[in-house]
Amino acid sequence: MSTPSAATTSRWRALTHHHLFWPVAVLVALLLVNVPFTPDFFSIKMTDGHLYGSLVSIVLFGSPLILVAVGMTLVIATGGIDLSVGAVVAITGALTCSYISDQADQNALSGVFLAMGIGLVAAVVCGLWNGFLVARMGIQPIIATLIIMVAGRGVAQLITDGQIITINSEPYKLIGGGYWLTLPFSIFVVAVVVAVTVALTRRTALGLLVESVGGNAEASRLVGIRSRRIKIMVYVFCALCAGIAGLMISSNTSAADGNNAGLWIELDAILAVVIGGTSLLGGRFSIGGTVIGALVIQTLTTTIYTIGVPTQTNLVFKAVVVIIVCLLQSPKFRAKVFGAKFGPKSGAASGGSAATEPAKTVTTAEAAPKMEVS
Amino acid sequence: MLNRRNFLTAAVGVAAAAGLSACAKEDEGGSGGSSGGGSKKITLGFSQVGSESGWRSANTDSVKSAAKEAGFNLKFSDAQQKQENQISAIRSFIAQKVDVIAFSPVKVTGWDAVLQEAKAAKIPVVLTDRSVETKDESLFVTLVGSDFTDEGRRAAKILEKVLEKAGHKGKVKIAQLEGTTGSAPAIERAKGFKEVMEAEHKDDWKIVVTQTGDFTRAGGKQVMAAFLQSNPDIDVLYAHNDDMAIGAIQAIEAAGKKPGKDILIVSVDGVKDGFIAMSEGKINAIVECNPLLGPQLMEVVQTVKDGGSVERWIKTKESDFMQDQAKDALPTRKY
């Protein structure tokens, strides 16, 4: 940058104004923080026929969060929010594991598939219920989904009878804790779900419809978009994603824990969506950003474990990092601290669709009060 | 937009769901609960921490069945690991004028206000399993439960035996999986272990990493996976409960190491799954923490109600287990 030519400057600008620039920068920074504490942090080696290393662990343990956050992204894009995902995770895991534990042969494929089917159907039912309350009954999403958030965990405990159900099923272990082609199997599940979501929302008009419903549901309805149907659809999709995450979490430890499975995952998921640059006001979303956001949160958790933060200060450490990330995401804050270089206005010159996007990015602090108004 | 009929249907839906959650959280144990005329029947309000582990479920079952046997009317409430839930449960017990309140505190501190209210209402409070920190000793009658500090000491003592048996000489690098931050068992199990370590093994033992796994399997697995990355040369794992140890075992196996051989494991509790892991050679020693304190609790409740005096701390009966005892002890494990 000593002799910045016009071309490199504009390229740099386009880069810093890409909507994924700040989430990726934070992710890279967090990964680098680990290096002094774990010298071979980036090394990946073969162990027992599968890849093993910190990066693999981050993706493996982060998979459920990515799934939940992707579903949450679409709900938030319609201007809604889904607080029930944690409970759906617990219900799905509880139903599936209790069905498998009742089988004579826990390794039978048919039984495992049926069990997963039962679990996912339950998840879809939860999604339909949320969608029905929000789209048909006009109840505010935060209230509508609060019902299953609170009641659902009770249902999960009812299913497991308050116990931790331990199962011993090799096929079921694959989905959340097993390996395929040397990689954690959950990576493939996540890849498929993300690819399908991106294809459906960006290759068809579906994404546009979701955004238009989030932008203005009434106007969308008047131009002929079935906005209620779209809303129900996103809640069902979100619950389905949470259901798959529930399978992964219970499969990872081969146990269903009605009380703790997916506890607070809804908040982490919302955070991941926000870090990824999706506006909580609805109207636009970024699946890629959400995936990065979820990885940031999982890396942060791993970082806390590896750098030896005293347990009492875990949450403070997490809070500080999240505040910094949210501030970095705010164009106003950047303009004030770094000057006009990273601010919202200078980006107009570089043109392109990416440049306008950071301007719409909002932090949680800004978005929360507005949400109540709408 | 929202007409009256729609609103009503929605309201009914909300009410139904809320009712469902209430059922799930506050199921009435004991015998029926609605035996109106029984004025002599003791009503016991019990607030449980949650159901974070197999140990806790066994504890809950023991309290429920012992209350039934003693013919008490038990009002059971699950706090789902949150202090605020527990405080509101205790307040509702006070409002319902129960005879005795018993609870396992989620956290050590922050109980003075609500316990003052109980005292003002003249309802005796019995702590179970975990203790609280308070300046006013009159706020609770007694504690029925284990001595966690002693469990920590016993864990360190049994680790000496484990190391000797494994033929481990020289320096010992220890990883510790702590329980929920701020909870009595987490604080005291760490304290007791450290006490013995500093008194007798100051030069050779060292805790190289310590972090909370929240007493859960998923927590133990994730934290251990990170430990193995940052400190690949760990010799010993000391887990504050069996469930975290079970999670950690999975992480150790994923790293291509042998739990119980490459990394020696000592854990506390003694739940069935822990004993299964020990009989498979994956856990080296377990320090028992007995959850079946229901009968002892009911005895105390009866005495307190009758106006008798009890000791400040009624300790539960416990023992330690090494690997060679695992197979014999396994069939006797109920939880």
pLDDT (tens digit, 9 = 90+) per residue, A103-122?
A: 888 888 999 999 999 999 99
DSSP A313: G
CA distance to partner chain A, nearest, from residue B248 (Å): 10
Residue carrying the six token digits 């910045």: A4
Q: Are A258 and A139 in contact (CB under 8 A)?
A: no
Classify strands B43-48 and A179-180 as parallel, antiparallel or unpaired: unpaired
The whole-number pLDDT of residue B81 equals: 82
CB contact under 8 A, A154 and B23: yes
What's the CATH number where A81 sits? Answer: 1.10.3470
Chain B residue with Cα closest to A184: B254
Sign of CA dihedral A119, A123, A129, A135: negative
Q: What gap in Å lies between CA A241 and CA B43, rounded to an integer?
A: 45
Residue carrying the six token digits 């740099």: A12
Q: Answer whether B78 touches A (CB < 8 Å).
A: yes
Q: Is the pLDDT of residue B243 over 50?
A: yes
Q: Mutate which of A48, A129, A306 to disrupt the B interface (most B C-beta within 10 Å)?
A: A306
Q: What gap in Å lies between CA A218 and CA A215, rounded to an integer?
A: 9
CA neighbor of A150 nearest in space, from B85, B8, B86: B85
Range with the lowest mean pLDDT among B3-12, B102-111, B268-277? B3-12
Range with the lowest mean pLDDT among A78-82, B218-222, B261-265, B289-293? B289-293
Mean pLDDT of B246-268: 95
Tokens matching residue A212: 């238009």
Residue A57: inside a domain: yes
Structural domain that includes position A60: 53-314
Dihedral pair phi/psi, residue B72, rounded to 5°: -90, 155
Report the predicted TM-score, pTM, of the whole model to 2 decimal places.
Answer: 0.79
Residue carrying the six token digits 């990689």: A183
Give the three-class secondary structure for A320: helix
Looking at beta carbons, which residues of chain A come within 8 Å of B109?
Answer: none
CA distance to partner chain B, nearest, from residue A352 (Å): 40
Looking at beta carbons, which residues of chain A come within 8 Å of B243?
Answer: 164
Cα–Cα separations (whole angstroms), residue B70 to A298, B58, B67, B127, B296: 49, 18, 5, 19, 11
CB contact under 8 A, A137 and B10: yes
CA distance to partner chain A, nearest, from residue B38 (Å): 30
Tokens matching residue A142: 């935060």
* ∠ CA B232-B234-B237, rounded to 5°: 130
Q: Which of A61, A154, A304 shows the shortest C-beta gap to B21?
A: A154
Looking at beta carbons, which residues of chain B come within 8 Å of A139?
Answer: 10
pLDDT in tens, B5-34: 555 455 555 544 444 444 444 444 444 434
Q: Mutate which of B217, B234, B276 to disrupt the A interface (most A C-beta within 10 Å)?
A: B217
Q: Which of A148, A157, A253 shows the shortest C-beta gap to B218?
A: A253
Q: Is the pLDDT of residue B244 over 60?
A: yes
Matching CATH topology for B37-145+292-316 and B148-289?
A: yes
CA distance to partner chain B, nearest, from residue A31 (Å): 13
CB contact under 8 A, B256 and A157: no
The whole-number pLDDT of residue A218 equals: 87
Mean pLDDT of B178-205: 93
Residue carrying the six token digits 């409002």: B95
Q: Which of A40, A150, A304 shows the shortest C-beta gap to B21?
A: A150
Q: Is the pLDDT of residue A278 over 70?
A: yes
Close Cβ partners of A356 (under 8 Å, ≥ 6 residues apart): A347, A348
Sign of CA dihedral A347, A348, A353, A356: positive
CB contact under 8 A, B181 and A312: yes
Chain A residue with Cα closest to B217: A253
Mean pLDDT of A172-201: 92
Tokens matching residue A192: 């498929």
CB contact under 8 A, A255 and B217: yes
Chain centroid, CA A207 distance in Å: 17
The whole-number pLDDT of residue B162 equals: 95
Which position has the higher pLDDT, A335 or A236?
A: A236
CB contact under 8 A, B17 and A163: no
Q: Are A183 and B53 in contact (CB under 8 A)?
A: no
The whole-number pLDDT of residue A350 equals: 40
How many residue contacts between A and B have a Cβ separation below 8 Å? 128
CA distance to partner chain A, nearest, from residue B125 (Å): 25
Length of chain B: 335
Q: Is the pLDDT of residue A155 over 90?
A: yes
The whole-number pLDDT of residue A342 equals: 56
CA neighbor of A159 nearest in space, from A228, A102, A74: A102
The whole-number pLDDT of residue A370 equals: 38
For helices A109-131 and A170-177, angle between their N-to-C axes, nearest 10 degrees: 50
Q: What gap in Å lies between CA B201 and CA B143, rounded to an integer?
A: 32
DSSP A132: I
Return the C-alpha torsion angle A49, A53, A58, A64, nearest 10.
10
Q: Which CATH architecture has domain B148-289?
A: 3-Layer(aba) Sandwich (3.40)
User: Looking at chain B from residue 189 to 228, which residues have their Cβ under 8 Å from any Cβ of chain A?
Assistant: 209-212, 214, 216-218, 221-223, 225-227
Which position has the higher pLDDT, B68 or B40?
A: B68
Q: What gap in Å lies between CA A235 and CA A155, rounded to an integer?
A: 19
Q: Looking at the domain covering B37-145+292-316, what would its CATH class be?
A: alpha beta
* ∠ CA B11-B15-B19, rounded to 5°: 175
Mean pLDDT of A274-293: 91
Q: Is the pLDDT of residue B214 over 50?
A: yes
Close Cβ partners of B106 (under 8 Å, ≥ 6 residues apart): B49, B50, B79, B81, B82, B83, B86, B183
Tokens matching residue B160: 């000496």
Ordered by start, the domain boundaries in chain B are 37-145+292-316, 148-289
Q: Is the pLDDT of residue A351 over 90?
A: no
Q: What gap in Å lies between CA B268 and CA B328, rounded to an integer?
A: 18
CB contact under 8 A, A147 and B14: yes
Averaged pLDDT score across all residues of chain B:
86
Q: Mutate which of B27, B107, B222 to disrupt the A interface (most A C-beta within 10 Å)?
A: B222
Q: What gap in Å lies between CA A139 and CA B19, rounded to an integer?
A: 19
Q: What gap in Å lies between CA A361 and CA A338, rounded to an integer?
A: 17
The whole-number pLDDT of residue A163 equals: 78
Residue A28: inside a domain: no
The whole-number pLDDT of residue B4 equals: 52
Q: What gap in Å lies between CA B315 and CA A349, rounded to an integer?
A: 74
Averaged pLDDT score across all residues of chain A:
86
Q: Are A370 and A281 in contact (CB under 8 A)?
A: yes
Mean pLDDT of B109-121: 93
Q: What percent of chain A has pLDDT over 70?
A: 89
End-to-end Cα separation, chain A, in angstroms: 45
CB contact under 8 A, B181 and A314: yes
Q: Answer whether B80 touches A (CB < 8 Å).
A: yes
Which position has the higher pLDDT, A145 or B335?
A: A145
Mean pLDDT of A337-365: 47
Q: Are A45 and A51 in contact (CB under 8 A)?
A: yes
CA distance to partner chain A, nearest, from residue B43 (Å): 23
Range with the lowest mean pLDDT among A291-305, A351-365, B5-19, B78-92? A351-365
Other Cβ atoms within 10 Å of A170 Cβ, number: 11
CB contact under 8 A, A137 and B229: no
In the 3-class helix/strand/coil scheme, how is chain B assigned residue by residue?
CCCHHHHHHHHHHHHHHHHHHHHHHCCECCCCCCCCCCCCCCEEEEEECCCCCHHHHHHHHHHHHHHHHHCCEEEEEECCCCHHHHHHHHHHHHHCCCCEEEECCCCCCCCHHHHHHHHHCCCCEEEECCCCCCCCHHHCCEEEECCHHHHHHHHHHHHHHHHHHHCCCCCEEEEEEECCCCCHHHHHHHHHHHHHHHHHCCCCEEEEEEEECCCCHHHHHHHHHHHHHHCCCCCEEEECCHHHHHHHHHHHHHCCCCECCCEEEEEEECCHHHHHHHHCCCCCEEEECCCCCHHHHHHHHHHHHCCCCCCCEEECCCCEEEHHHHHHHHHHCCC
Q: Mutate which of B51, B191, B240 to disrupt the A interface (most A C-beta within 10 Å)?
A: B51
In chain A, how many domains are there? 1
Q: Alpha helices of chain A — where are they, by DSSP H? A: 6-16, 21-34, 54-77, 85-102, 109-131, 141-160, 170-177, 185-198, 206-215, 217-222, 227-252, 265-275, 287-306, 314-329, 331-338, 347-350, 353-360, 364-373
Q: Which of B14, B53, B255 shows the shortest C-beta gap to A164?
A: B53
